[in-house]
Every structure is written in structure tokens, then in C-alpha cells.
A and B are shown apart, each in its own frame.
Chain A
Amino acid sequence: MKHKAFMIDTSRCIACRSCQVACKQWNKLPAEATVNSGSYENPPKLTAYLHNKIEFIETEENGEFKWLFLNKRCMHCSEAGCMKVCPSVGALYRTEDGLVAYNKDKCIGCNYCVNGCPFDVPRYDAQNKIAKCHGCFDRVENGLQPACVKACPTGTLLFGDRDQLIATAKTSGKPIYGETALSGLGAMYLLDNKPQDYNLAANPTIPTSIFLWKDVIKPLGILGFWGAVGVAMLHYVTVGPKQLEENGTEKGGGNHG
């Protein structure tokens, strides 16, 4: 599989936030009520209706003011914590291009992916279904650039063949964030400063408890989940619908193992 990816050259970003708006336009996401809380940055965090956003970070370098702009989004990790923990098969999936997309119809709203993500990305919409950057797979499959990339006027946001993006980025001599982390991120940064200056973990990792979950408990959990459903069905067939209502709340019990 030839991976596609984003390369985000932060030094070129002018914080015009065309990317924020273009994403909302393409994905038909509503605006949310916000207030200024002492920063140009708004909304303050990613939401179910905001799949990418610019962080405004004020720093100083040799006594000179320096503004850092970081496009925050799902990093489309090759080793994706969200996918590892997701108990509902097909709710989170990898596209042919290697991006991490989702199917809301299959999302059961369990919130596990929130804990599995090292970058605090997944959100839940009003219907309690996952929402995050899906890499505009619908556009990409049709030979188009993601909406945010298309709208970016400065060449900060680039999208294409991952290996090629890395090769070109290397000619800048700047370190690439995410080339190898989590088996390679599908959204990488070219940073001017240290990752910590952008509030990025130098070595992002999936919480260790997740491995236990994924390798031991999740298989059991899925068994337990369907087991519970099976018992309920049996119950329905043998005892009738009224009791099922009483027992129904236990249906998801197997998930919490």
C-alpha cells in the first residue's frame, strides 16, 4: 500500500485559518458559539464540528517576539490508538490511502478512542458519534486534494505520497515530526522550534494500558459483548420482551471488562 499523508510546514503558516473554514464548508459543519477568551485562537479546542484548527503560540527567540502557528488535526497514525481500542468493527478504519477514517453508523459512542489517542483528537457529535479529520477520503478517492489543503494559500498544508513528501521535506534540513513515531504519522510537521514549544510530545506513545486492552481484554470484550447480546436474544425468545427491557441495560456490560 502506498501511503498518502499530510506534510505541514509550520514556518509558512500565516494563520489565515482558511483551512478551518474550508473543512467546515466541505464537511457541512455548523459554526459554534464562541467568545474571545484572551487570544485570537478560536474555537479553543478541536470539537465535533471543527476537524482542524490553528493554534497560536507566542514565544520569544533571542529577545524577539515569535508567533508559532500549528495546524492541529488527527495525525492519521500508522499505529493508531483509536483503532486499537475501538470495539466496534468498521467504526474506525484505514482507507486504501492509509488514512484513518470512520463510519458513524458503526460507532457505538463508547468513548474508548478518546483514551486511546495520544493526540487528544476524537470528539463526539450531538448524536454521540465519533467526529474528527477523516483526511477528506471522499475527495482523495476522487483525485482531489483535501479541502483544507486546497484552501491553504501558502503551501503550509501539503498532501500526497508520504515517501515523496518526506523526501522533499528533508531537503529543507529541518527535522520532521512524525516520520517514524507510532510507525509513521499520516500527518507530519516541519517544525522551526522544538516539539515541546508547540505542545507536542517529543515521543508520542499510546497509553500502555491500551495494549493490555487491545491484546487481552478487547478480544474477550467483543466476545462478551456479543455474548451478552446473544443471551438477551435468547432471553427475548424464551421469556419475552418485557423482561428484556429490564435486562437490556446489561447488554453492553461485556464491553467494560
Chain B
Amino acid sequence: MMARRSQKDPSGVGLYPEWSWCWPVNRRILYNRASVNADGVPWNKDRPVIWWDGGKWKGDVPDGGWKPLSQAGTKKSFIMLPDGVASIFAAGMKEGPFPEHYEPLECPIEKNPLSGTKNNPVIKLFFADGGLEEDAFYSCDQRYPYVATTYRVTEHWQTGVMTRNTPWLNEMQPNMFVELSPELAKDKGIKNGEMCVVSSGRGKVDAVAIVTKRFRPFKVQGTTIHQVGLPWCYGWTTANSGDSANLLTPTIGDGNTMIPETKAFQVNIEKRG
């Protein structure tokens, strides 16, 4: 089914129902019954996605086969939402309902330029609960002046415990690195390929410097802020792979999901002596 490549488009609106396959029942548009009125007639007659035709739905595969809303025994179009209708904000969030910008727990600036509240008030802080040393955080601390972010690489899956031990993959991305801009590298006397130490308030890791123009200094409120980036797919169980970037990241839980803040935290970087 996935190999299908028919360019037939009977709907005329670009559904291409026989091009590959759309999980789970080859329906192309979610909640598509919302595109018709209570009698099953498309709101936009020139671009019909689905329509009720003599006791049957035509067009796209209906999202739930219930009859049009004017008929008995039907169900509202947004079948996976509790009240069956569209929302302009997500119900049940701990904060909101409208989006707001908060600074990360560790950040290089004193004040949130967009709001009087600096950090999200519903984040889960472990250190504040009498946590451990490795749960500490240091915002606007001169010892950790650079923003760090962690990410994956194509060659490794998650922390890499499987892919690092797949020799063909490990050959392509063998060990821990840190990426930084040529400007920061110059400031710190770091050359491409040199071994560095990246440290945060919680730990430190050795990493090979990749000096690249893909990283650029930011101008934030008139000051220059540098960012470095590290993959989080290295660590123990693989020879010579280096340490895990998670030794650096802060222990903090997003208020709704408990996702930790590994994309923005503060570090220092030095050439390894």
C-alpha cells in the first residue's frame, strides 16, 4: 500500500487517496466532517473534502462514520476531543490558557523582556525541595556565561546505547563533541578539533571542539551571548565515546509534562589543559 503512487485526485482538492497510505484507515484529513454543515453539505462548495450523498459519505474517508449533525444518533466532528468541538486553547493545562514567553531556569539575562514573571511559575524544581547538589542551578552566574543546548545526531538513537554499539554507525559519529562559533573559539583560544572541557553547575564533560559558522553569537538586549551545542547520545558502555551531556543539564520538570529543560541552560567552556 505504501508503494502506491497513483496521482488520481477525484476530489479535485489534492487528497490523492491512492498515493501511498495514510494511517490508520487512509483518511487524509482529520475531523473532516467539520467541513460540512448539519445536512452534510460542504461549507465551501468549490473545495469539497467530504459530503453526504443519499445516506452515504462521499469523498475522503469520514472521520467516524456518523451521519450529518441534523440526523439522529450522530456524534460531533471532533471525535477525539472530550466535548467534540474545536478549541482555541488546550483545556486542562496547569498554566495558560494563552501562550507566554518565560526565560529558561538558567539563562544569561536578569529580566524577562516580555513579561514581569521571569520563569514559568508551575515548573517542578527539585533543588528547591531540598534536592541534591546535582540538582542545583545557576542563572546569570559569571562562572557559566554561555548558553548550551543538547541534541541528537542522525547516526545515533536517543542516548545511543544501541547505535553506539553498532560499529558501522559508531564509525561515523564516534565520540562526544561540542559545537561553537568561530567568534567564541577565538575568545577562548580553542581550535577546531581540540579537546575541551564543558562544565555546568552540576558536572563537566570532555568534548572535541567543532568550530563552525553554523553557530553564531546572539545580540540580546545589546550584549553578545554565545551558544554552544552538544549531542546527548554518548556515555558509558562504549569505549572511547566520552561522557554524557546529561551530566550538565539542569534537573527541572516542565509544569505539565515533566520534560526537562535540556535545550537551554548555562555552561562554561575551556580548552582542556
Contact = CB atoms under 8 A, between A and B. Distances in A.
Interface stretch (A32-40, A125-133, A162-170, A216-224): A32-40
A36 B168 contact: no
B208 interface: yes
Given A17-B155, A35-B240, A37-B193, A65 B214 contact: yes
Contact of A16 (B154, B176, B210, B214): B154
A31 B212 CA distance: 27
A28 to B, nearest CB: 11
A17 B154 contact: yes
B171 A31 contact: yes
B122 interface: no
B171 A65 contact: no
B171 A42 contact: yes
A173 interface: no
Given A17-B154, A17-B155, A34-B174, A39 B210 contact: yes
Nearest to A21: B168
A31 B153 CA distance: 19
- Range of interface residues on B (Cβ < 8 Å): 20 to 34
Contact of B167 (A30, A35, A43): A30
A36 B208 contact: yes
Interface in A18-60: 20-21, 24-25, 30-40, 42-43, 58, 60
B175 interface: yes
B211 interface: yes
B54 to A, nearest CB: 44
Given A17-B155, A24-B168, A42-B172, A58 B210 contact: no
A159 to B, nearest CB: 19
A38 B208 CA distance: 6
B173 A37 contact: no
A60 B213 contact: yes
A17 B172 contact: yes
Contacts of A16: 154
Nearest to A32: B171
Chain B binding site: helix, strand, loop or mixed by DSSP?
A: loop
Interface in B147-195: 153-155, 167-177, 192-194
Interface in A110-146: none
Greatest chain B CB density within 10 A among A30, A34, A60 is at A34
- Range of interface residues on A (Cβ < 8 Å): 20 to 34
B182 to A, nearest CB: 11
B209 interface: yes
Contacts of A42: 171-174
B147 to A, nearest CB: 19
A36 B171 CA distance: 9
B173 A36 contact: yes
A206 to B, nearest CB: 32
Interface in B4-35: none
A58 B171 contact: no
A40 B173 contact: yes
A86 B18 CA distance: 54
A37 B208 contact: yes
Given A17-B155, A38-B194, A43-B171, 14 more contacts: A16-B154, A21-B169, A25-B168, A34-B171, A34-B174, A35-B175, A35-B208, A36-B174, A36-B177, A39-B210, A42-B173, A42-B174, A58-B214, A65-B213
28 contacts: A15-B154, A17-B154, A21-B169, A21-B172, A25-B168, A31-B170, A32-B171, A33-B174, A34-B171, A35-B174, A35-B208, A36-B173, A36-B176, A36-B177, A36-B193, A37-B193, A37-B208, A38-B177, A38-B192, A38-B193, A38-B194, A38-B209, A38-B210, A38-B211, A40-B153, A40-B173, A65-B213, A67-B214
